[in-house]
Each structure stands twice: as structure tokens, then as C-alpha cells.
Amino acid sequence: MKQQERIDKIIQAVETRVQDEVGALLGAEFILDSGARELVSKQEAFERLRGKQICAHLDITGDVSGKSCLLVSIKDAIRLGGTLIMLPDAELQEVIGREEYREEIEDSYGEIANIIAGSITKDFEEMYPKPCRFIRKEQEILVPAKVDIESDSPVLNQQLYLASCSMIIDGRQMGDMVLLLPAAAFGLEKEEKKPAAAETVKEEKVPQDKPAQAVAKEKPKESSDKNGPPPKTDPPKLDFEKHKKRIDRLLDECQKRLNSEISALLGVDIILDDLDNRIISKEDFFSDHAVGKQVLADMEVVGEFQDTCYFAVGLKDAIHLGGILIMLPPAELTTVVNEEDFTEDTTDAYGEVANIVSGVYTAVFEEQYTKKLRFVKKQLQLVVPLKVDTASDQPIPDKLYYSSKMSLTVEGKSLGNIHMLFPAALLQLDSQPVQEMPQQAETKKNDGEKIPNSPAAQSQPSPEKPAKKPAPVSAEAKDKLDKHRKRVDKLLLICGERMEAEVSALLGIDVKLSNQSNTVIGKEAFFSDFVSGKQVIANMDVVGELDGKSHLVVNLRDAIRIGGALIMLPTSELESVIADEEFSEDTQDAYGEIANIIAGVYTAVFEEQYTKRLRFIKTDLHQVVPMKVELEADEPFPNDEYYLSTMDLSMEENVLGKVNVIFPLELLQLEGLRATRETDEEEDVQDDADEVIPAGLSQGPGSDLSVVREPGAQAVSPDILLIGDDEAEAGKIAAVLSGMGYSVKSLSFKDNVHNYIPGQLKAVYLVMKDVNEQAFGAAIKVSSACSLPIIAAGPGWTRTKVIKAVKYGVLDILLTPAAKEDIEENVTNNLLKLAA
């Protein structure tokens, strides 16, 4: 496993632990959302920080030694410390506004920093190969711009590994918490830079529309290496769709960071949603997309490519944002917005918001894009779209742009849309205009017609794909394999149902195993991507007509909860041993009994119904830390591909982790899946692109539920809109609604809900895996656009969350996972009674 991946996994575990421990200390809901993970210089690290920071020095001791530090803005440190000493809200807001870091707040934040240092120590001791401890020392107030880069304070002037995460406390968005680690101490130093430079020259030669300024820089390098140009024809083989997906993922990350960064700057809840990325022309933008007067922020792009991007916001929205920053009273703010009074103070304030925006795009593109790009905010200009001359270079040149549009909500109030316009050539998205995309498949079928500027991209993939397809298996063999796999999947589903019944009977409580998913997975992917945190593996010998080993893998805390429930530990003691991850001998024995029951279930089903008689015998239990698993070793199981059957576990309505059962492919006579796996994955990608409806709604009775599909949206209008990210629960709700005669449309949180509201809708269900800000943002969008009943379905409701949901327009709550009877009752209460 690569060192950076190892460190990132550990930091992810640290964030989870800090979230739990600091939340428990404060008695508040404390959420950390992962951010940047990258190597930086000391100068780069402190250039990114804005405003005064509280720096907690951390000494690293043990087999790894060095100096680290934890940084949060002074306002966030005051909020955390003030929450701990329970300052009244009015007083807390006052001291935050004055940045008054007084002694008792400093002491209380120091306690939080101690907790964080302890959490870092625990996870590094558990998951890092070399023992090391993080000891919190003094704290100090820093002004980033005044940090002496050459000094040894607060950290040495060396390469650092920066890990950041945004903070939310009781639904209030805060800024980032930043941890700086000495890169060399953890084996994270950047490798050779020369190849990177060569690669830069190689890739930058490709774009035809790149400004002359950039081309001029490269010509001496090109002429000095005569063997270089022929192989440098490789970069044009850019798969347009794949590259566009990469860009869209970057822009999705930008949207998330903009939410947190602008919220932190303004001190209010800002939600940017409905991300919509598309290629448009200058004329399209000003005639169809820009509504009313616009404030355009010119953003000069420097780095490996040079160009200019444009950040466009409606004038009233720019005044609104600027007015909040300079703390205009609500009545005055409303007046200046209505009068479109963009005063000098408001302009300067909005300019600060635009600076934050440019900083976010810079951070994301420097971290994650193939080209290093920096976005520098220049001038602001006021534009009236109807007066724009398309043929001129003002206010923007006439060329193709990649538009990233987001809807803006401020303090629960829905405003307009904002747009970030990137020249398409800058993002290497100019090789295939958007209008040609629908014809691409037909073009390839007919005569392989090539699209300008990307001949290699169109001609190269076609010979490669046939090379993969003939080799694996014949169509007949594949059909036979698919049928056998379906039989195996049915058996595994039966096993899951029986496990649920048997374990519930043994424990005397309600245990649910849901959302079963079966897939082929390798050892590396399983331990590096699929599971995290300590795992308990129960090995099962398989004997009979086929021999092998199978493995039951459960998160350590879930294994403790299951074992503790069997030996009837008191609730308080059970929660304590789970928090301490104390897998005592008694708990191990009890969990071992559960593993025996599960082995018995698989034996019964496979002896009765499988083509080969197999018995599963539980042998031993052992704990595993995924980060420390050696891929080439035979422990905990050999480096091979396996058939993974995974289920979501819940006990007495507590949603827990996953129950994973791993089988060697040969044991289930599925070894043919090795040959077909790549082909199947390619087909899955195409299927995903074609299918609008979530997979959870496309099976069984749900296949007829989403009667309103994208191509024929005008034909039938849905009665009920399901919006969310919990496909399993949405499927259950949709099945019930369909049975009651309602037509249903399912959308994700990222889809544009305004295309369906209000229409002929009778109600909207928000169906979420977690009750969080994303869900509340969807509630705000719906309630601001119509007066339809909104029902929020999700797990883990607290009094605070319910109050917040009601505040944002939610009419009723449905606790998930929900039984059919609960859903029917909810529909009756909220639809039939309202209709009556």
C-alpha cells in the first residue's frame, strides 16, 4: 500500500474519532468533513490560511519524531472553547465578533486540542507501523502573513503534509481545521521533479488554442530534444467523456468547498446546490443563462496554461453577499438589494467573497488537476446581458466555455444562480462540442468519422476494445456463467434472511441485514477501499464436494456490540466497551457463538440448495487492521480475487456497519468472472450513463415505479417526488406509493428539482442515509419553490434535527429503516388525510 494512502487512511480514522470525542466533550453535534490532503512547502501552507489562527504545537515522539501543529481560525477556537464553558449564545457571538481570546477560553480550547492530540496518537499507534505519540505543547496566536518561513516556528521550514477538514457544530458551518505533519518523518517527501517537468512539456504541447505566451515558453525545450516530438503525439488520445467526468468531479469538490469557505467568511449558512456543468457559447450564456444584471469577476489563470475565467453572480445577489460581510442591518440590506445599490463598501466586500472563490478553485485545481492552475481575482465589472455584443471581446471573448452553474441559498432564502465560466480549451474540453455528443455512437458505427482536434481520441479506442472482448469467454459460456451467478446470488440472499432470523432469535433483539450486494473484489481493493478501522475476521473452513476457506468480516465495534448483546452487558457498560474497543475474552467467546450460528446458516442453505454439498465450519477469530495487511502474505487470506457478499447491519434500529462474507471464486464455481470482470465493468459504466433511475428502484416492483423518465418527461407528470441518496429506502417507499396508485419520480440530491416543482405533485419525500445539511438544503429548495408537503425520511433523528427540519419546511418525519406498515401510515396521514 502506498505511503500516502496509508497516512490518508489513518487521518480519516482520526477525523472520525475526533468528531466523536470532541462532540461528546462539547455535548454538541460536531461534524468534520474531509478536505485537502497534499504535500506543501511551509510557505504554501501559511499562504493558504486567512486571518488570525490559533496554533497548537504538537511534539512527535517515539520511533518517529518531529514537530507538528494544529491550526484553526481564532474565531473557531473561541466558538469551540466558548461552547465547552457554556457561554450564553449572545455573549459567545460577542466575543467571537471581537476575537477576544481570553484566558478561560484559551484553557478550554486547550482541553479540546489535548483531546485531538490524543485521538491522533491512538490512531497512529494502532494503524501506523512505527509507534509514535503526539504531545500537545503550547498554543499561540499566529498571523499567517507574518510567519517567518526561515524560522523553526511553528514548524521547521521543510516539506509538510497538510491535512484539512471543515468543521460544523450544531449545524453551523465553521472554517477548516488544519494539521501539518513533517513529510520526511512519515516517508511522504515528493519524489523526483525532473520527469514531472518533462511531462509538463509533453502535455502542454497538445492544446491548439493555448495562448502564444505559453507556447513561446516551450519552444526552446521542444527544439532541444529531437526524439521527443514523435512520442508526444500520445497526449491527444484524450477520452472526452472520461476527462469530462474527471473535471466534473473537481467542480463537485469546488462546490463543497465553496459552501464551507463562504459560510465561514460570512458567518451564515450558505448552500450552493444543483451543480450543472455544460459546454456553452458566449451567446448562449448571455441570452439563455444570465438573468438580469450580472457582476462578473475576471479571474486570471496562471500556471501551466494561461487564460481568463469569469465568475458571474446576479447584481442583487452580489449586493446581498457583500452586505452580509459588512454586517448591514437586515432592513437596510433588504433596501440596498431592492434598489440595486452597489456601493463602494459593498463592492469591496463582495470582492472579498470573489477572492475566496478564486482561492477555492486554486486549491482544488492545484491539488487534483493534471495541470497546475492558479486563479487570481482581478477586476469586477457590471454587465447587462441584453446589451452584450457577441462578436466583441467584451465583457468576455466569443468562444466556447465550460459553465459550472450552482443555485445559491443564503440563510434558508433561495437566491439566484451563480456561474463559473472556464474557457473550454483551458480544461481540454474543446475537442468535442456538446452538440456532437448525441451523434457520437452513430458516427462510430457508420464510418468512424473523426471529430476535429481529436483524431487519435476517435481512432485509437476502437482497435483496443475488440482486443479485450474475444479473449475472456464465449457468449454461450458467459450466458451460462450469468445464470449460475444468479443462482448463487439467490442462495446468498436466502442466507442473509436466515442469518437475520437466527441471530435475532439468539440475541432476543431485532437484527436486520439489508441491502445485500454481491461483487467480485481483490484483496487490495477490499482492505484499502472497502473496509476501514479494525476488523474481526472469523475464518470458516469449507469441506465437502469442494474445499476452501471462507471469511466473515465485521467491524470490531460491531463485533463487540453483537457479543456484548449476547452476554447481556448493561447498556452503559456496553457503550463504554464499544467506545474503548475492548474485545474481552467473554465478548470474543460470545461473538464466536454468533459466528458459529452464521456458519451453520451457510451450511444448511448450501447443503440443501447448492449444486455441490458444502459445509462451513467456523475455526478461529482474529483482529486485523486493514492498513497493516500485507498484500502478498497469505494472512488473513491469500492475494486473489473473491466473491464478496455484503449487507448493512442494524440492531434495534441502530444503524451499524457492514457484514461481509468472502468466498474464493472457485468455491462458488464463479472463476469465470475473472475473465469477464473488465468487460462487465465497461458495460456497467454504459448502463449507468443510460439509466436515469437509481438501481434500487429498477428491480422487482420498482421497475415500473418511475413512470416519468427523462426522455419523455412531458408525457406523464409524477404525483410524488423522491429526493435523496438512500436508494434502498427510496425503493421501499416507492413500492408502497406505487401500490397505492401514485406515480413516482426519483432524483438524487444533485439533480435539479426545479424541473419538477410544482407540476402536478402532491408531496415530496426526502430520503436520506444521514440527516445532514445536504438534506436540509434540499428542503429549503423545495419549500422556497412551492407549498407542497415535505416528508423527511432518515435515521438517527434528534430533537435538534427535528426542530431544524421543521424550520426548513418539513411537515412530517419518517424514521428509517421503515417497515411497509410505517410507510403506509405515513402516506395515509400526509396525503390521503390532506386530500380529504
Least confident of 313-327, 536-550, 726-740: 726-740
Residue 471: is its pLDDT beyond 60?
no
In whole angstroms, give the CA distance from residue 143 to residue 146: 5
pLDDT for the residue 190: 67
In whole angstroms, give the CA distance from residue 367 to residue 260: 18
pLDDT for the residue 282: 92
β-sheet with 511-522: strand ranges across: 511-522, 641-651, 654-664, 548-555, 535-544, 614-624
Closest CA to 161 of 183, 186, 191, 177: 183
Contact 816, 796 (CB under 8 A): no
The pLDDT mean for the chain works out to: 81
pLDDT for the residue 164: 94
Look up residue 670 and give its three cell numbers: 464463479
β-sheet with 720-724: strand ranges across: 744-747, 720-724, 763-767, 790-794, 812-815
Alpha-carbon distance values, 282 to 20, 318, 383, 398, 637 (Å): 49, 21, 13, 5, 58
Which amino acid does the sequence have at 545? E
Residue 136: is its pLDDT beyond 70?
yes
pLDDT band with cut points at 50, 70 and 90 for residue 14: very high
Residue 30: is its pLDDT beyond 50?
yes
Q: What is the mean pLDDT of residues 281-297?
A: 90
In whole angstroms, give the CA distance from residue 750 to residue 835: 30
In whole angstroms, give the CA distance from residue 702 to residue 719: 15
Least confident of 130-134, 340-344, 711-715, 780-784: 711-715
Q: What is the tens place of the pLDDT at every residue in 729-753?
A: 898 999 888 888 888 888 887 777 7
In whole angstroms, give the CA distance from residue 795 to residue 792: 10
Which amino acid does the sequence have at 143? V
Closest CA to 826 of 786, 791, 794, 801: 791
Look up residue 596 and give its three cell numbers: 458459529
How much of the chain exceeds pLDDT 70, in percent?
82
pLDDT band with cut points at 50, 70 and 90 for residue 535: very high
Q: Is the dihedral of CA 249, 253, 259, 265 positive or negative?
A: negative
Number of CB atoms found within 10 A of residue 630's CB: 12
Least confident of 608-622, 707-721, 753-767: 707-721
Q: What is the mean pLDDT of residues 488-514?
A: 92
Q: What is the tens place of the pLDDT at every residue in 562-589?
A: 999 999 989 889 988 888 888 999 999 9
Residue 832: is its pLDDT beyond 80?
no
How much of the chain exceeds pLDDT 90, in percent?
44
Q: What is the tens place of the pLDDT at every residue in 146-185?
A: 888 999 989 999 999 999 999 999 888 899 999 999 999 9
pLDDT band with cut points at 50, 70 and 90 for residue 347: very high
pLDDT band with cut points at 50, 70 and 90 for residue 697: very low
pLDDT for the residue 679: 53
Residue 684: is its pLDDT beyond 70?
no
Q: For residue 574, what is the enclosing H or E element?
A: helix 571-579
Give 30's strand partners.
169
In whole angstroms, give the CA distance from residue 394 to residue 383: 10
Higher per-residue confidence, 676 vs 342: 342
Q: What is the mean pLDDT of residues 518-535?
A: 85
β-sheet with 30-40: strand ranges across: 30-40, 160-169, 172-182, 66-73, 53-62, 132-142
pLDDT for the residue 42: 93
Phi and psi dihedrals of 370, rounded to 5?
Answer: -70, -20
Contact 583, 560 (CB under 8 A): yes
Q: pTM value?
A: 0.39
Give 622's strand partners.
537
pLDDT for the residue 193: 42
**Angle of helix 673-690 versus helix 475-507 axis, rounded to 10:** 80
pLDDT for the residue 676: 64
pLDDT for the residue 202: 36
- For Cα atoms 452, 454, 455, give the angle at the middle one, nearest 5 degrees: 90
Residue 464: is its pLDDT beyond 90?
no
Q: What is the tens place of the pLDDT at every residue in 431-454?
A: 654 443 333 334 333 444 433 333
Preceding omega of 385 cis (within 30 degrees of 0): no
Look up residue 111 and give its three cell numbers: 482541553
pLDDT for the residue 504: 92
Residue 208: is its pLDDT beyond 50?
no
Residue 387: is its pLDDT beyond 70?
yes
Contact 457, 431 (CB under 8 A): yes
Higher per-residue confidence, 324 vs 471: 324
Cα 350 to the chain's mean position, in Å?
Answer: 29
In whole angstroms, give the CA distance from residue 298 to residue 380: 6
Look up residue 298 and give its three cell numbers: 475576471
In whole angstroms, give the CA distance from residue 321 to residue 337: 10
Q: What is the tens place of the pLDDT at every residue in 35-85?
A: 889 999 999 999 888 788 999 999 999 999 999 999 999 999 999 999 999
Least confident of 280-284, 399-403, 529-533: 529-533
pLDDT for the residue 433: 44
Residue 829 is given by DSSP the state I
Q: Which residue has the cell 490559533?
A: 54
All domains in the chain, ordered by first residue: 3-186 (3.40.1550.10), 194-227 (no CATH), 242-429 (3.40.1550.10), 478-671 (3.40.1550.10), 689-835 (3.40.50.2300)
Residue 7: is its pLDDT beyond 80?
yes
